[in-house]
Chains A and B, each alone.
Chain A
Amino acid sequence: MYEEEYLQIKDTLQRLQVDSNAKIVFLVDKNGQQIATHGDMKGVDATSLASLTAGNVAATDGLAKLIGEKEFSILFHEGERDNIHISLVAQRVILVVIFDEKSSLGLVRLRVKKASLELERTFEQLVKKSEADRGRTDKFDSPFAEITDEDIDSLFSE
């Protein structure tokens, strides 16, 4: 993940949260790693949210394949107060929107569609960039190239 794209993603999420009147907007990769988030995360366990979302999407994906569908691109969970709208973006990341009665499913779907297009463009850009970088590994030094055994041991010192 590069700084420029990361900021673009954050920007898109922020706009989506405001435009859709949502409480929280959240982006996770398919392995359950949180990428970015916007909104009031107080009292929400972001890591668990990310991992359960990915599990949910993976299970639904499995269901889709069982009945011969490529994927179910949208999942919606309705609660008494809060609702969760989950959608796949560019087949690689998961966009989660949590909203209550201040918004509506229709509005969320509409705004998510728009934001998805933006995110898709950002991720395309990201993929191109990292492919270009792959060719010249010498220029792009991994910070872990010089990691030492002591560095690793120190993590477990307690």
Chain B
Amino acid sequence: MTFINYAAREINCKIVYYGPGLCGKTTNLQWIYDKTNPQAKGKLISLATETDRTLFFDFLPLDLGTVRGFKTRFHLYTVPGQVFYDASRKLILKGVDGMIFVADSQEARMEANVESMANLEKNLKEQGYDLQNVPFALQLNKRDLPTALPAEEMYRQLNFKGEPTFEAVAMNGTGVFDTLKAVAKLVLTELKKK
């Protein structure tokens, strides 16, 4: 739920990056963190194991500026992608305003993508959301790898509701901000309807 504080004139929105293990959710956040000017960002918090696998979540607060006199702040979260962290994943979806699904383009990971997408839909439902109504974008990551499937093929299998889809290489930032912008825009447009 978007938290609008009329007294402090602030809007806070929560955006969650979802996807299978090692698909590049944390890399997305890391890139955004590295490329944002220091006044606009908070600390990047990463609750990860010693081998840099996300254990609970990564978190990055981002100030985008003001809209109609309201300061807009986006809280970016990633979930742990590994299958057995499902209980933790559910917790992070609480109060979500926008979702980004990061898919791994490698052919061998396609099954994991599909499984994770189904898991997202199920977990959202458990929290009382319908992905159909949640602002949502799809990112096809790791496009630079030789084993990457054609984008059209991935879109055919993963597309949920004709959501904005971006090809990305999170390691070098390609498509990272485009994906974030698309979802941020959808979230703010949603506010307009309310």
* Residues of chain A having any CB pair with chain B under 8 Å: 1-3, 6-7, 29-33, 35, 45, 47-48, 51-52, 55, 58-59, 61-62, 142-147, 151-152, 154-156
Contacts and interface: CB of A to CB of B under 8 A. Distances in A.
A51 B192 contact: no
B3 A33 contact: yes
Contact of B7 (A6, A29, A142, A155): A6
Interface stretch (B60-68, B135-143, B163-171): B60-68
Contacts of A58: 91-92, 94
Nearest to B188: A152
Contacts of B94: 30-31, 58
Nearest to B45: A48
B5 interface: yes
Interface residues of B, number: 41
Given A55-B56, A55-B57, A59-B91, A152 B185 contact: yes
Contacts, number: 104
Nearest to A2: B6
Interface string B31-68: 00000000000110101000000001101010011011
A155 B188 CA distance: 11
B78 interface: no
A147 B5 contact: no
A152 B94 CA distance: 25
A150 to B, nearest CB: 10
B164 to A, nearest CB: 14
A146 B4 CA distance: 16
A52 B56 CA distance: 10
A51 B68 contact: no
B191 A47 contact: no
Given A55-B56, A156-B184, A29 B70 contact: no
Given A48-B59, A152-B189, A155-B64, A31 B95 contact: yes
Contact of A155 (B65, B177, B191): B65
Closest 8 CB pairs of A and B: A31-B95, A6-B7, A58-B91, A33-B3, A47-B61, A144-B191, A155-B64, A47-B42
Contacts of A156: 64, 177, 181, 184-185
Contacts of B8: 6
A42 to B, nearest CB: 15
